[in-house]
Structures are given as C-alpha cells and as structure tokens.
Structure 1
Amino acid sequence: MKLYYSPGACSLASHILLNEINVDFDLERVDLTTHKTEKGTDFFEVNRKGYVPALEINPGLILTENVAVLPFIAQHDPKQDLIPPSGLGRAKVLEWLGYLNSELHDAYSVFFGPALSKEEQDRGYATIDKLLQYIDDYLGESDSDYLVNDRFGPADAYLFVITNWSNSIQHDLTPFKNIVALRNKVAQRQSVQIAMRDEGLIA
C-alpha cells in the first residue's frame, strides 16, 4: 500500500493506523498548494478531488475519504484490536468517524482558507468549542478508555489529528480536560510518535 499524505493534515490519522497494523507501506508527500507529489506526479491524476488522504491499495486502485480509509486500514489489523469486525461496536466507530469528519473537521477547516476577520474567527472558535464540548462531556461520562471502548482505534487517531490543529489556529484546548487526557494518552503511542517524526512534526 502507498499513502499519499501532507504533513499534519488529516492523512496523519491514516499514517498512524498504518504504523499500528505493522504492515509494509510507502509514503508519498503531496504539496497541496501545487498539487504535485514529491516525485513530481500531478496529484489530480491520483485523486481527482485533489486532497489527502489517498490510499493506493494496488497500482491504480485508490481509496479516499477518512470515513472509508481509516476503517479499511483498521480491518487489516491481524489482532483485530483496532475496529470490531461487525455489530454495534463497528457501528459506533463509524458514528464517531462521521461526526469527526462532517462536523469537527469542517469547523477547523474554516481557519485554513481565506483570512478571517476577528468576528469570523470568534464565530469559528465558538463552533469548535461547542463540538469539542460534546466530545469532552461524552468522555467524562464514559467508562471506556477511548472513544468507543477500551482499545485505541480509528476515531481516536482522527480526533488526535484534528485537535492537533488547535496549535496552528491559536485555539485553547485546556478547558476540555477529558480530550486533553485522551490526546496525551494517544500521543504516547509508538505509532503516533513514528508518524509525527516521519512527517517532520516533531524532532
């Protein structure tokens, strides 16, 4: 498999999961401004949508969209720890991925487009805070160690990556103590440390 990625983008979640399942895979960096890969390929020829992640499963067979790519990678875990194979457990993983993708990811994305006015920034922060509060409350009421159960999975990786963007947009995560605790736990995983080093995000 080959993962087309951009450092720190949502493709980082896929990178983390690929490290988790301990399979051989290749990485190819994408410049999302020029839409050229590090090998000079026009990225639109790989993914006509023009954004990451794009997972090349076999030559010419490309899978896109986090809600599809993350479960696909997770189901290749030989220990079957990352995602339940069926039933309500798997449905809960997909539920969280849907919320993170359609709500939280979109809320952060506002800050990575055209420059925002102070009023627009304040509205953007308020939207993010409202969405994060829902997650923080859920974690505070849950008996599980992670979002779905007591095992790290795709939703935890995706939440870690999205909330990591708070560093780039000067957004304060400290009010969300349960999210911060989960982030700290996820950050300690070897798969996360390796992915972030490979993408130049940490030394």
Structure 2
Amino acid sequence: MKLYYSPGACSLAAHILLNEINVDFDLERVDLKTHLTEKGTDFYQINAKGYVPALEINPGLVLTENVAVLPFLAQHDPQQNLIPPSGLGRAKVLEWLGYLNSELHDAYAVFFTAQLDETQKAAAYAEINKILNYIELYLENSDFDYLVNDNFGPADAYLFVLTNWSKLIQHDLAPFKHIAALRDKVAQRPSVQMAMRDEGLI
C-alpha cells in the first residue's frame, strides 16, 4: 500500500493506523498548493479530488476519504481490536468518524481556506468550541478508555489529528481537560510517535 499524505493534514490519521497494523507501506508527500507529489507526479491523476488522504491499495486502486480509509485500515487485522467487526460497535465508530469529518474537520478548515477578520475568527473559534464541548461532555460521562470503547481506534486517531490543528490557529485547548487527557494517551502510542517523526512534526 502507499499513502499519499501532507504533513500534519488529516492523512496523519491514516499514517497512524498504517503503523498500528504493521503492514509494509510507502509514503509519498503531496504539496497541496501545487498538487504535485514529491516525485513530481500530478496528484490530480491519482486523486481527482485533489486532497489527502489517498490510499493506493494496489496499482490503480485508490481509496479516499477518512470515513472510508480509516475503517478499511482498522479492519486489516481483527486481532488488534481497532474496530468492532460488525453491529452497534462498528456503527458507533462510523458515527464518530462522520461527526468528526463533517463537523470538527470543517470547523477547523475555515482557518485554512479563507482570510478571516477578527469577528470571523471569533465566530470560527466559537464553532470549534461548541463541537469540542459536545465531545468533552461525552468523555466526562463515559466509562470507556477511548471514544468508542476501551480500545484505541480510528476515531481516536482522527480526533488527535484534528485537535493538533489548534496549535496552528492559536486555539486554546486548555478548557477541554478530558479531550486533553485522551490526546495525551494517544500521543504516547508508538504508532503516533513514529508517524509524527516521519512527517517532521516532532
């Protein structure tokens, strides 16, 4: 497999899971401004949408969108319990991935896709905080070690990556103590440390 990625982008979640499942894979960096890969390939020829992640499973067979890529990788080795095989447990993973993708990802993305004045920034921060408050309250009332159950999984990787963006936009995560605790736990995983190093983030 080959993961087309941009350092620190949402493709980092797929990079983390690839490290978790211990498969042989290649990485190819994408410049999202020029849409060229590090080998000089037109990224639009690989993924016509023009953004990461793009997971090349076999030559010519490419999977995109985190809500598809992350469960696909997580189910690679059922013994690792990264995702329930079926039923409500798996549906809860998909529910979280859908929420993170459509709500939290989009709330952060505003800062990267437009020049915001101070009023617009305040509104954008408020939107992020509203979503994080929902997650914070959920974690506060949950008996699980991670978002879905007691096992690390794709939703945890995705939440970790998205909340990393708070540093880039000068957003304060300090009020979200349960999210911070989950982030700290995820950050300690060897798969996360390896991915962060490989992408030049630490």
1:55 match: secondary structure:
strand
Runs of 4+ more than 3 Å apart: none
Which residue number corresponds to residue 29 of structure 2?
A: 29
The Cα shift of 1:114 comes to 2.1
* Displacement after TM superposition at 1:78 (Å): 4.6
Contact 1:21 1:78 in 2 (8 A): no
Question: What is the match of residue 97 of structure 1?
Answer: 97
Residue aligned with 2:175, SS? coil
Aligned to 1:141: 141
Task: Provide, for residues 77-136 of structure 1, a one-character-per-residue CA deviation record: whole Å limited to 9, x for no partner.
Answer: 251410000000000000000000000000000000121000000000000000000000
Q: What is the alpha-carbon distance in structure 2 between the residues aligned to residue 18 and residue 78 of structure 1? A: 14
Cα separation, 1, equivalents of 2:95 and 2:8: 23
The aligned counterpart of 1:116 is 116
Contact 1:93 1:154 survives alignment (8 Å): yes
> Identity of aligned pairs, percent?
79
Given that residues 78 and 85 in structure 2 are in contact (C-alpha distance below 8 angstroms), is that contact kept between their aligned partners in structure 1?
A: no
* Helix, strand or coil at the partner of 2:63: strand
Distance (whole Å) between structure 1 residues aligned to residue 106 and residue 77 of structure 2? 29
What is the TM-score when the length of structure 2 is the normalising length? 0.99
**What's 1:55 paired with?**
55
**1:10 counterpart residue number:** 10
Q: State the one-letter code of the partner of 1:132.
A: L
CA distance in 1, matches of 2:8, 2:49: 19
Count, aligned residues = 202
CA RMSD of aligned residues (A): 0.6
Structure 1 residues without counterparts, runs of 5 or longer: none
| Aligned residue identity for 2:184 | N
Q: Separation in 1 of the partners of 2:13 and 2:113?
A: 21
**1:175 and 2:190 are equivalent in the alignment:** no
1:81 and 2:81 are equivalent in the alignment: yes
User: Normalised by the size of structure 1, how large is the TM-score?
Assistant: 0.99
Native 8 Å contact 2:156 2:186 kept in 1? yes
Q: Is the 8 A contact 1:2 1:57 kept in 2?
A: yes
CA distance in 1, matches of 2:132, 2:93: 17
User: How far, CA to CA, are the matches of 2:5 and 2:42 in structure 1?
Assistant: 14
- Amino acid corresponding to residue 84 of structure 2 in structure 1: P
**Alpha-carbon displacement from aligned partner over 1:24-82 (angstroms, at most 9, x marks no partner):** 00000000000000000000000000000000000000000000000000000251410
Q: For residues 49 and 60 of structure 1, what CA distance do their matches in structure 2 show?
A: 15
Q: State the alpha-carbon separation in 1 of the partners of residues 62 and 13 from structure 2.
A: 17
Give the Cα–Cα distance (whole angstroms) in 2 for the partners of residues 9 and 36 of structure 1. 16
Corresponding residue for 1:46? 46
> Does the 8 A contact of 1:7 with 1:200 survive in 2?
yes
